[in-house]
Structure 1
Amino acid sequence: MTFRYGPHADPVLAGFDLDVPAGDHLVIVGASGIGKSTLAALIAGVLRPQAGTVRVGGLPVAGASPAALADRRVLIPQEAYVFTGTVRENLTYLCPDLPDAAIDRAAARLGLAALLARLGGLDAHVRPVDLSAGERQQVALLRAWLSPAPLVILDEATCHLDPAAEARLEEAFADRPGTLVVVAHRVSSALRARRVLLLDGHTALLDSHPGLLARSAAYRELVGYGEQGATPVRSTPTPGRSAPLRAGSALPSSP
């Protein structure tokens, strides 16, 4: 797949193929502006490539209806959407028949029960302007957890949260049934992933965190490994041999 923002612009992603198996936990890392959020938007169907096809759950995202896409994937960007209405309406508009008990269980699992209490409960009326950026993100993350979609895409969705909250939420989403793709806000997200995709503008490498540390000087520099002598905290390597990918776009397989 290839994508550029204008007919005469250099491609952000060019000739790039990637399969994301069902149940995978993939973290995308790279320098700011390298194309990580573009890749997330292409997977979600927000952007369309000039060449190539993106499929989610076997469905080509180009031309798919909003309802069909919502059944397969949910995307949480850096600035999450919260609308004026009740807390319950904000949390369940992707699954409007969800019982309150299921919401409460999910909030407890994500460590967000205190947030719901602070907002006044599920029947409380909220306005986006009255919430902090972190509160809006957490409402959106809980909404994503409750979504029926088997693929969750977090595009720096924890950027307004502290590292401890980010780790807690990412680990919870990794335990959620389905597939998780994370555009990393902090490179520590890579230590929690099964696989890591490194974009550097020229090539792309896909491997486990330890595998990239061994293979890539750019990745070692990104995580500060060479300077700090850091030890990987946690990683679950993917079985099998990883191979370099050409720089470009992604073709995720069905979650």
Structure 2
Amino acid sequence: EKDSLRRLGEKGAADGSVRLRGVSYSYGAAAEPVFDALDLTLRDGEHLAVVGPSGVGKSTLADVLAGDVPPDRGDVVLGGTPADRLTPRELADLRVLLPQEAYVFAGELGENLRWLRPRAAERDVLSAVRAVGAATLVDRLGGLEATVDPAALSAGERQTIALVRAHLSPARLVILDEATRHLDAQAELRVEEAFRGRPGTVVSITHRPGPARRADRVLFLDGDRALVGTHRELLATAPGYRELVGGHDGGPDPMD
């Protein structure tokens, strides 16, 4: 892991910065673009929320940001290196993408948590467990050496395990694609705070207004264009965003 990160550092890619330049993507040659000529720059350590109506292409954007899906046009640069020049191992060290439905395999809980960092010391694993708020779950399952049956876990419990895994990983870019949708608002806030306290950049794709209010900036996709600004800026300038989040600038999330 250290050698791989060192190689990335030599090429200037050992941080969580992101740069999209003129990025366009559509589901077919005759289809309308999901997003068109999208420009976006994220500094290492920034927290971005991506919001928009269902089906507008938020998960597709997550795949493009992660370097898993190449855009039709434009450049995706991760940590200073074009994504199409990174090997699969380098991509895995640089970024982690958590989808809506978390993957947990049958086997030891500790192995599940260490999946992206196999040699992690137990103290580091437990630190990530505490940060994400998973200590009660780990204790209930019987500790790190307990055997996990994915079918016996709830969707929220599987997401919690995957979130600990991402927090523990060496990646400086974390992309959460509705990765807290099965958690309640208090647990979601705990997760946000955990990733804010972790070095690197976080992109949260969400349907909830709360994460958008708390993010450094928001990317709003409405099917016609992409708007980037703070939560307050978009409330003032984007009627579609204001309608989506319920016009609230505080208090309970109307969509929770």
Q: TM-score range by the shorter chain?
A: 0.7 to 0.9
Deviation at 1:65, TM superposition (A): 2.1
From 70, 78, 96, give the equivalent of 2:118. 96
In structure 1, runs of 5+ residues without a counterpart are 234-255
Farther-moved stretch of structure 1 (39-48 vs 141-150): 39-48
Is this contact kept in 2: 1:107–1:113, CA < 8 A? yes
Deviation at 1:171, TM superposition (A): 2.1
Per-residue displacement from partner, 1:55-110 (whole Å, max 9, x unpaired)? 11122222532210011100101011111111111111211111111111221122
Larger relative contact order (Cα-Cα within 8 Å, sequence gap ≥ 6): 1
Secondary structure at the aligned position of 2:195 is classed as helix
TM-score (structure 2 length as normaliser): 0.86
Question: Which of the pair is proportionally richer in strand?
Answer: 2
From 231, 234, 253, give the equivalent of 2:249. 231
Is this contact kept in 2: 1:158–1:185, CA < 8 A? no
What amino acid does structure 2 have at the position aligned with 1:33?
A: G
Secondary structure at the aligned position of 1:14 is classed as strand
* Runs ≥4 residues deviating over 4 A: none
Is this contact kept in 2: 1:210–1:232, CA < 8 A? no
- In structure 1, what is the Cα distance between the partners aligned to 2:68 and 2:149? 25
Superposition pairs for residues 177-196 of structure 1, below 5 Å? 177-196=199-218
Q: Does 1:55 align with 2:77?
A: yes
Aligned residue for 1:245? none
Aligned residue pair count = 229
From 27, 31, 53, give the equivalent of 1:9. 31
Superposition pairs for residues 1-255 of structure 1, below 5 Å? 1-62=23-84, 64-225=86-247, 230-232=248-250
- In structure 1, what is the Cα distance between the partners aligned to 2:150 and 2:88? 23
Secondary structure at the aligned position of 1:98 is classed as coil
What amino acid does structure 2 have at the position aligned with 1:90?
A: N
What amino acid does structure 2 have at the position aligned with 1:132?
A: S
CA-atom RMSD in angstroms = 1.3
